[in-house]
Structures are given as structure tokens and as C-alpha cells.
Amino acid sequence: MSDPILSIKDLRKTYSNGVQALKGVSFDVKKGEFLVIIGLSGSGKSTLLRCINRLHDPTSGQITFNNSGVKTEIASIQHKNDIRGLRKNVGMIFQHFNLIPRTTVLVNVLMGKLSSVSTLRSILGMFSKADKDDAIKYLNLVGIKEKAHIRADQLSGGQQQRVAIARALTQNPKILLADEPVASLDPATCHVVMDYLKKVNQELGITIICNLHFLSLVRQYATRVIALKDGMLVYEGDPKNIDEAWFEKIYGAGAKEVHIN
């Protein structure tokens, strides 16, 4: 077995208003796996993902990123440029897609190149031919190449999420974080987006860490699952082993599983 790509130890995050979102979480992420994090709203899933790419600053603990042998201690990065360098390797997609309104799909996807283009060149819109080709390539991969010159806010929810995936892939990341990527989509579109994530995982070999709500999706897509409850890790293992008892433990007594097909 190779070293884990990401090794998280005793990660804690307390917000300035005193809320303890993470109370000492430790786990490893293996290279190339499709790891799903489940748990109630407010259990700390989103905070966890945002600590990994430093959209949030962890209060204490370690996040060790192993980029093919080069180890980086994510939690203790101070300098802005280093955070920028980290984000080259860690892409992210969001529940509400977080695309730029009134801007074309292509420009949205080119945002994935921001970390490697100088500020001045990017503001003048001077992206290289290679960057544009890359953007088109990933738009093609998620099947919406023909929408490249349409405004991003004109697309449907599922298409917007695919643009977001293409944007993240244009960064050429080692890890892709997905914060409830299908929570605002209808059941049918939901599977389309999840299938593209699976494709990214299997064909491009990108490690995926994904927050999800629906256990049926977890069983279908995850290679491994961890569960958070009140900022603590309560389950780690194979998604097939989550039975009724575990479900109640994670989601509280009386919770019923909702199926989506």
C-alpha cells in the first residue's frame, strides 16, 4: 500500500463566534479513492472540506498533503502564495455551483487557470491558446463543449455543476473536493453529475472527497465512507456496511432513510 495522499490528524476548528465545528478529526485519504463524508447538516462536513483547501483556517491539528512524495503541511501554511500553490492541486465544487454570473461558460472554466496566470495577464483576459484548449478539453469531458460561449447563468442546474467540474479539472488537481454537489439538483440530474464525478475519479485518477446526504448515492458511488457527528468522526469503513443501526447512530434515533433512484 502506498502512502495516503492526505493524512488528517486531530483537526479542530472553532469559529470566532465560539462554535466548535470540528472537535479533533483524524483520518487518511488514499490516493485515487472516492471518499464520501456523511452526516447531518452542521456536523462539520463543509468545514472539513474548507480546511483542506484553506478557504477556512484550522484552529489546530495537521493536514499532511503528499503530492507524489513531496509532503506539505496544509494546516500550517501562512503565506498567501503558498495557499495559492496548494489550491492548484486541490479543486473544489460547491452545492450552489458558485459560477460567475453574466460571464460565459468558457471564461468560468478558465478561472481554473487563475493560479498559474499572472494577475495582470488574467485581468486583461490574456489566457494562452494552451489554456483555452485545456478548458475546451474538460468542457468536452463533461459533455457541454457546445455551451462554451453561452452565459453561465443561462444553463440549468446540472449543466452549471458540470461547468464547475470542468473549472476544477482545468486546475489539473490531485484532489477534488465536492461540497454536497447534488443537493440542489433533481434526482435525475443528480445521477448525471455523480456519474461525471465517478468518471473523473476512474479515468483521470483524481482523488475525490465528497459530502453527500443520500445513503443510496453513497452506496452506489463511494469506495469508502466516513461519518461525522457533532464535529467528531463516528464511522469509517465500507459503505455497504452501513446498516440500520449505524444509520440511527449517525443521523439520530427515529431518522428514516430516504431513497433516491
Binding of other proteins at residue 122 (CB under 8 A)? yes
Min CB(211)–other proteins separation in Å: 14
- Maximum CA extent, the chain: 57
Min CB(224)–other proteins separation in Å: 23
Q: Which is nearer to other proteins, 155 or 250 (CB)?
A: 155
Binding residue for other proteins (CB under 8 A) from 85, 145, 213, 224? 85
Q: Angle of helix 129-141 relative to helix 157-170, nearest 10 degrees? A: 140
Question: Parallel, antiparallel, or unpaired: how do β-strands 175-179 and 6-14 relate?
Answer: unpaired
Judged by CB under 8 A, the stretch of 107-115, 138-146, 185-193, 238-246 that binds other proteins is: 107-115
What are the helix (H) ranges across 74-156? 80-89, 105-110, 119-123, 129-141
Binding of other proteins at residue 224 (CB under 8 A)? no
Residue 70 exposure: Cα atoms within 13 Å on the Cβ side: 4
SS3 state of residue 113: helix
Q: Which is nearer to other proteins, 83 or 234 (CB)?
A: 83
Cell match 482545468: residue? 170
Determine the Cα–Cα distance for residues 175 and 53; give it in Å rounded to an integer.
Answer: 10
Binding residue for other proteins (CB under 8 A) from 40, 114, 183, 232? 114
Q: Which is nearer to other proteins, 5 or 99 (CB)?
A: 99
Binding of other proteins at residue 88 (CB under 8 A)? yes
Binding residue for other proteins (CB under 8 A) from 13, 61, 63, 97? 97
Question: What own/partner pairs with CB < 8 Å and gap ≥ 24 does 20-24 have?
Answer: 20/231, 21/47, 21/231, 22/47, 22/48, 22/51, 22/58, 22/61, 22/231, 23/230, 23/231, 23/232, 24/61, 24/232
For residue 151, the 8-state DSSP code is: B
Binding of other proteins at residue 94 (CB under 8 A)? yes
Binding residue for other proteins (CB under 8 A) from 17, 41, 78, 119? 119
43-82: contacts with other proteins (CB under 8 A)? 53, 55, 80
Determine the Cα–Cα distance for residues 240 and 237; give it in Å rounded to an integer.
Answer: 9
Instruction: Note whether 212 and 218 are within 8 A (CB).
Output: yes
Pull the grid cell for residue 43: 456536523
Min CB(88)–other proteins separation in Å: 6
Binding residue for other proteins (CB under 8 A) from 45, 147, 167, 174? 167
Size, binding site for other proteins by CB under 8 A: 36
Binding of other proteins at residue 126 (CB under 8 A)? no
Judged by CB under 8 A, the stretch of 5-13, 161-169, 227-235, 240-248 that binds other proteins is: 161-169
Applying CB under 8 A, the residues found at the interface with other proteins are 53, 55, 80, 83-88, 90-92, 94, 96-103, 107, 111-116, 119, 122-123, 164, 167-168, 171, 177
